[in-house]
A = this chain, B = another copy of it.
Amino acid sequence: MKATYTIGLDYGTNSVRAVVVNIANGHEVATAVWNYGHGKDGVILSRDPNLARQHPADYLAGAEASIKGALRSARRSIKAFQPDQVIGIGVDTTGSTPLPVNDAGHPLAFDKRFAKNPAAMAWLWKDHTSVAEAGEITAAARELRPQYLAKCGGTYSSEWFWSKILHCLRTEPKVFDAAYSWVELADYAPAALTGTEAPEKLTIGICAAGHKAMYHESWGGYPDEEFLSMLDPKLGILRRRLRSRAYAVDRSVGTLSSAWARKTGLKPGIPVAAGAFDAHTGAIGAGVGTGTLVKIIGTSTCDITVWPNTDKLADVPGLCGIVNGSVLPGYFGLEAGQSAVGDIFNWFVNYLQPGGRKLGSHTELTRGAARLRPGESGLLALDWNNGNRTILVDQRLTGLLLGQTLYTTPSEIYRALIEATAFGALTIINRFEEYGVKVEQVVNCGGIAEKNPLVMQIYADVTGRPMKLSRSAQTCALGSAIAGAVVAGAHKDVPSAQSAMTGLKSRVFKPAPQAHAIYRSLYALYRKLHDSFGTQQHDGSLYPVMKQLIEIRNQVRKGK
């Protein structure tokens, strides 16, 4: 019998990746990556450091190029491979990355009138222009619909769906008025492949809707029209154009259109699964289940675990969301995250370039950092260069480095930055467990987990827990391919497909007791800083300091 395959299509921040996976054993037989063509590394920037957009044309060109590339590569590695052995597709994307569309569901950015207007493009997950609107939505919900906030950690983020749409409405009303509706990239991408992007045909995924758009089945889907109208009557109108039900990744959104079959060489009519965020399919591909926390460590992290939806579960404050079915159907998906991890190391290497390009490379700094013992540098850092997602849910926080002497070296700082992200990781694990979500094992995936054993060892030493690694280096795409296999009927459900298609590496990073003991002391100090700058618990709290610096910075920049 000929092997069968599915494709996982994974939209990242800078590129899109297609992976061809054997559904029997999870073997990734071919991969192709296509870099977005617009902006800087695929991200459209402006003088406003908070702005980050993408051009939707890259999504379509990228799907075509990466799928074709992966099929070509599969043919090279497996002699008898035929594209018609691909029986399903799953899709994951960054998010919340909403884009305005017309009444046919086509991106407004394809309209000549708006071709160069960043507001008409996709508002990338890390776009932080909508801080004011996030505050407004949070305040309104806190007063009128506290239940909305309880499911998304108590604060509605500037990175999310409604904040971005409301900001567009307020600052670019022409774009807003020209749009018929808004769609998450996670829903747009599979819809484009199946020709179901028209708002009334669209199938939306529960992952984006539940984690970023305050969708919940208990109140009938998205926030109610009255609430949205109160923010702005036009949001109320938009609400009527959105779908009322959202689905997990085991639901097909349709079948590959003949146009896309022609473009890619795939068989028309194969099912495409409902889209989800990369981290969520990454968790699937890393084998997430009850008691397993999956950490997807890249420029930022997503920390994902699940809990049976038949059990009682408290609202865990500070999480990015608790959404029924957002990861595995039948389970609450719990998402936490750190706003910057690899991005902090990259900042240090690319912006500070300590020692110049040669001495200041990740490799050299890691080598130097590995020679140091915990506590030896006297340094302590906060991992907030891009704000804090979990547990503070606060963009208006910044980095901090403390303990410098006249002899502090780049390697010491590099290690302190790694440790800071590890302390952030521990804070998330603790938060889960404080609210009864037991973490029995931690499985890591993503580039940094793969490539930097020092980071993994420090995470083990700081958390006092073994750090395991996912077998796949492309768990997001693998998870999407698993979804593709389920909608194609090749596995009865996602957990069965995971059993067949996922696994762990044999190398496990075990905590060293002595290092852990020192890190316990350091973590206590980290928490002192964390709580003083990040909360208003104490009288003498330094909570206002970072906020006021940002305020002053913004005023000065405005006056430019």
The residues of A with any CB-CB pair to B shorter than 8 Å are 49, 340, 343-344, 346-347, 351-360, 373-380, 385-386, 398-410, 413, 518, 521-522, 525, 528-529, 532, 537-542, 544-546, 548-550, 552-553, 555-557
Contacts and interface: CB of A to CB of B under 8 A. Distances in A.
Given A540-B541, A556-B376, A549 B532 contact: no
B356 A385 contact: no
Contact of A404 (B373, B376, B400, B555): B400
**Would you list the 6 A-B pairs with minimal beta carbon distance, nearest first?**
A356-B356, A538-B540, A399-B404, A378-B553, A540-B540, A375-B552
Contact of A557 (B358, B376, B380, B548): B376
A421 to B, nearest CB: 13
Nearest to A357: B356
Protomer copies: 2
A413 B539 CA distance: 30
Given A398-B403, A407-B347, A518 B353 contact: no
B529 A403 contact: no
A347 B406 contact: yes
A211 to B, nearest CB: 23
Contact of A408 (B351, B358, B525, B541): B351
A539 B538 contact: yes
Given A532-B532, A542-B529, A553 B375 contact: yes
A340 B408 CA distance: 14
Contacts of A401: 399-402, 404
25 contacts: A351-B406, A352-B352, A352-B355, A352-B409, A353-B354, A353-B355, A355-B356, A356-B356, A356-B358, A376-B553, A385-B405, A398-B403, A399-B401, A400-B400, A400-B401, A401-B402, A403-B546, A518-B552, A525-B544, A525-B548, A525-B549, A532-B542, A538-B539, A538-B540, A539-B540
A380 B553 contact: no
Contacts of A529: 542, 545
